[in-house]
Amino acid sequence: MSGPWVQGPKRTRCIMPEAKIAGSDTRSICQHCRESVPAEHLIRDGGVYLKKHCAKCGDSEQLISADAARWQWKRDVYQYEPSMGAGCSLYCDSCGHDHKPRLLFMDLTNRCNLNCPICLANIPGMGFEFSPPTSYFERIFVELGKRTPPPRVELFGGEPTMRDDLFELIAIAKRNNVPVSIVTNAVKLADEGFCQKLCATGVDFLVAFDGRDPATYRRMRGTEVILEKKLQAIKNIEKHSKRKHTLVCTLARDLNDKGMRDHFAFAHEHRKLFRRLFFIPLTEMWEDGRYETRVMTTPEDVEHILEEAFPGENLEFFPAGLLGYVLPALRLFGTERIRFAGVHPNCESAAFVFSDGEKYVPLTHFLKRPLHDLLPELVTRAKRVNPRLEQLARGGWFSRLRGRLLVLRTFGGLLLGAANFKKIMKGSRFFGVLKILGGLMIGRRFSEQLRKHTHIQDGVPIVILPFEEWHSLESGRMKRCSSAFVYLDPETDEVAFTPFCMWCLHRREMFAKIAKRYGSAPWAKASGAAPVEAAAK
């Protein structure tokens, strides 16, 4: 298709007059030929569109936010400059830019024991099997183990638990001091024996759980039977694991959005098990006719849906990348890495909730001022003091002590003035604050001080993750991406990285090349491209 047309969520329509956002020139991926092309951001009818200019296919555009005001606020509070993303070509398979990723994903297989209609990363979606031999992954783990510190690796798929050598791969990662997590649909973890054995390895899980309504699974996963398996798996993990894990929900308007209040109630019931709550906007990656949604769901849609799950409260989201501004201060108190620190303001967004003993309440429950008022001043102060904090952090214990004092002097007044101590403190407000500050100065963890002296208990971050959405890719986001897929490049035979959301453009071709060069695991060769297991088993 060429000419001034829009390919929207479910229809094609003519582009209407729009307002261009100043300084928003970027690069994106043409929705037709999938080449890197110039693009710009437009505001129309309260939404933000990414308009792409392809010399071969003509203009096209994609809705990237249903809330233009909030999308722009994230850039403003971040003090984002378009020049931060300049110079990215989106040719991630050949540019050689070192993203220094803090989090890596490793595709183990495209086998899966489900056949979700929304998925293209399994055997039915690809048309061939991808299951490299153990030696392929061992080489990657050995190289990652040489990094200081080694990055965390999330084992991905397909379904990672379908690998016969999964326990061997975990052991190899441990030998190389590479921490690993498993992203799983949890179906196999409903088998208590298997779950117990896997929990004994000490890995943590990112468990896919889309709510407690069977109809959601019937529409999104192709069968409602797996809900009971997931619930049993969570019971098994709770029984056998000594770690805390992550609950991952794929969320879409008019699909499971009405069940989010119950979802948070479920998470609160299992708050000793789940330390993070991730939400992924359902991204339309499938081929026409394979699956239908009534409306598109953008990250800002997800924010509004989750805010509505806290009636009478003020759940506030902010760009997760803002955490990069406070990381120099947190390092002086023992926090070395934050997963999303420094990412693009229009990528991940976050909020915090805490338990009041009966339910989760937002962070703003304990504040006298909304975060939207606090964050601009916090960012301004952080930018002013961070060079000095980074210098002090490199010194000895006395320099670090001076750094902690500088942190308290810089941020203490702002945060203390915003705190609602009547709701926060267990006992005396004055002495409670002194105890917390004293504990921090001698190196105690902030979370430990909160548990001991305040009503702020069992804190959980809520994170919204834009997920492999090639149709709305832009160069500014990719240049600042802190997550990547790791693999052996079949052409160079060396470990390579591709930014997370770019991987979907290269995955099928790269899988085929990897399979051709490195072959398949022996058990995969013996069984061939095994049929997908029925979820109802």
pLDDT tens, the chain, 537 aa long: 333 333 333 323 334 446 777 666 788 999 889 899 999 999 999 999 999 999 999 999 889 999 999 999 999 999 998 776 666 777 776 676 666 788 999 999 999 998 887 776 666 667 778 999 999 999 999 999 999 889 999 999 889 999 999 999 999 999 999 999 999 999 999 999 999 999 999 999 999 999 999 999 998 888 899 999 999 999 999 999 999 999 999 999 989 999 999 999 999 999 999 999 999 998 764 444 444 555 789 999 999 999 999 999 999 999 999 999 999 999 998 777 788 888 899 999 999 999 988 999 999 999 999 999 999 999 999 999 999 999 999 999 899 999 999 999 999 999 989 988 888 877 676 777 777 777 777 677 767 777 777 777 888 999 999 876 777 888 888 888 889 999 999 999 999 999 888 888 888 899 999 999 999 888 665 544 443 344 333
b/e map 384-414, b = 16+ CB within 10 Å: ebbeebeebeeeeeeebbebbebbbebbeee
120 in any annotated domain:
no
The distance in angstroms from the start CA to the end CA of the chain is 44
Please confirm whether the linkage preceding 149 is cis (ω < 30° from 0).
yes
Confidence at residue 23, expressed as pLDDT on a 0 to 100 scale: 60
Question: Does some domain include residue 296?
Answer: no
Burial of 337 (0-12, 13-18, 19+ CB in 10 A): middle
Q: Are 474 and 39 in contact (CB under 8 A)?
A: yes
Residue 528, pLDDT score: 44
Fill in the amino acid letter for 478: M
What pLDDT, on a 0 to 100 scale, did the predictor assign at position 146? 95
Report DSSP state, residue 367.
B
Domain containing 435 equals 316-459
Is 137 inside a domain boundary?
A: no
Distance CA 105, CA 371 (A): 32
Other Cβ atoms less than 10 A from the Cβ of 251: the count is 24
Residue 361 located in a structural domain: yes
Pairwise CA distance, residues 375 & 379, whole Å: 6
Amino acid 124: pLDDT: 63
pLDDT value at position 121? 64
Please say whether the beta carbons of 104 and 141 come within 8 A: no
pLDDT at 102: 84
Helix axes 397-418, 429-441, angle to 10 degrees: 150
Counted domains in the chain: 1
User: Which pTM value belongs to this model?
Assistant: 0.88
Query: How far is the C-alpha of 111 from the C-alpha of 159, rounded, in Å?
Result: 6
Instruction: Tell me the backbone φ, ψ of residue 305, rounded to 5 degrees.
Output: -60, -45
Longest dimension (CA), the chain: 69
Domain assignment present for 339: yes
In a domain, 406, yes or no: yes
What are the tens digits of pLDDT across the range 390-401?
A: 999 999 989 999
In a domain, 423, yes or no: yes
The closest alpha carbon to 189, from 209, 210, 212, belongs to 209
Burial class (CB within 10 angstroms; exposed 0-12, middle 13-18, buried 19+) of 5: middle
**Residue 296: what pLDDT?**
83
In a domain, 400, yes or no: yes
| Coil vs helix vs strand at 60 | strand
